[in-house]
């Protein structure tokens, strides 16, 4: 069995049942390639992990913001409990190097895609929950997501960066036309990648790559927000 000790230290939890962790790192493509059934992959764990993270992050926001209503709490939770934030944590934990993928998926760079990493993070949290219970899962989630929660509450993270960039470009003292251009697309139909650049009028702001045009534009806009504020400070 794989030595997960380094990962466990980074995660903040040591497993009693290592097979749960192995299941969390097993992608459907690996299972199908080895003649197994879909239930042997991490998909079922993802289902539980998503619910556990939803509950714990929701409770944390509820306690942090006792005067805020349901709408605010739902919005903040959606910012934290999303593919982008989970994938970011997964990369910090170097989860990609433990993933068991089918050969085709591995060759296509599946170990570093946002969706695969985010799903794996959810599966790992479910494994913690089954292995150690609610408090262990809560401790693990807050250790790895508290920074994201704090940034969301402080208004430093946005659910829709494209809308945020467009909003900034139309505030008082700033009147710029924001344009996204697809500069390249490649790969087979089931695994395309898109390169996108964004400009404020004719001023280049940022570029990014995504698995869809929408994904690439959001990543591009996220990188562009900070650059826009540097180039066009509030007057």
Cα 139 to Cα 25, 41, 57, 198: the distances in Å are 21, 25, 11, 39
Confidence of residue 170 (pLDDT cuts 50, 70, 90): confident
pLDDT on residue 94: 96
Per-residue pLDDT of 41-62, as tens digits, reads: 999 999 999 999 999 999 999 9
Cα separation, 210 vs 56, in Å, equals 29
pLDDT: which is higher, 38 or 220: 220
Residues acting as catalytic residues: 50, 122
Q: Name the residue ranges covered by the structural domains of the chain.
A: 5-153, 161-231
CATH superfamily label, 5-153: Ribonuclease III domain (1.10.1520.10)
Q: Quick one: fold of 161-231?
A: Double Stranded RNA Binding Domain (3.30.160)
Average confidence score pLDDT of the chain: 91
What global pTM score does this model have?
A: 0.77
């Amino acid at each position: 069995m794989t030595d997960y000790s380094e990962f466990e230290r980074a995660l903040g939890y040591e497993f009693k049942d290592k097979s749960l962790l192995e299941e969390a790192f097993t992608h459907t493509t690996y299972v199908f390639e080895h003649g197994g059934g879909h239930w042997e992959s991490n998909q079922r764990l993802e289902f539980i992990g998503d619910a556990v993270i939803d509950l714990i992050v929701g409770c944390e926001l509820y306690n942090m913001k006792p005067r805020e209503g349901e709408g605010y709490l739902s919005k903040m939770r959606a910012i934290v409990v999303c593919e982008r934030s989970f994938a970011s944590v997964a990369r910090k934990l170097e989860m990609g190097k433990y993933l068991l993928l089918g050969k085709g998926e591995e060759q296509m760079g599946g170990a570093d895609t946002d969706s695969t990493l985010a799903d794996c993070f959810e599966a790992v949290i479910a494994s913690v929950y089954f292995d150690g219970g609610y408090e262990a899962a809560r401790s693990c989630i807050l250790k790895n997501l508290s920074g994201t929660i704090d940034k969301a509450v402080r208004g430093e993270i946005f659910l829709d960066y494209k809308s945020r960039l467009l909003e900034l470009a139309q505030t008082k003292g700033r009147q710029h036309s924001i344009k996204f251009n697809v500069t390249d697309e490649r790969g087979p139909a089931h695994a395309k990648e898109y390169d996108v650049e964004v400009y404020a009028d004719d001023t280049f702001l940022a570029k990014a790559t995504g698995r869809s045009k929408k994904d690439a534009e959001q990543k591009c806009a996220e990188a562009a927000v900070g650059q826009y504020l540097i180039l066009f400070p509030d007057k």
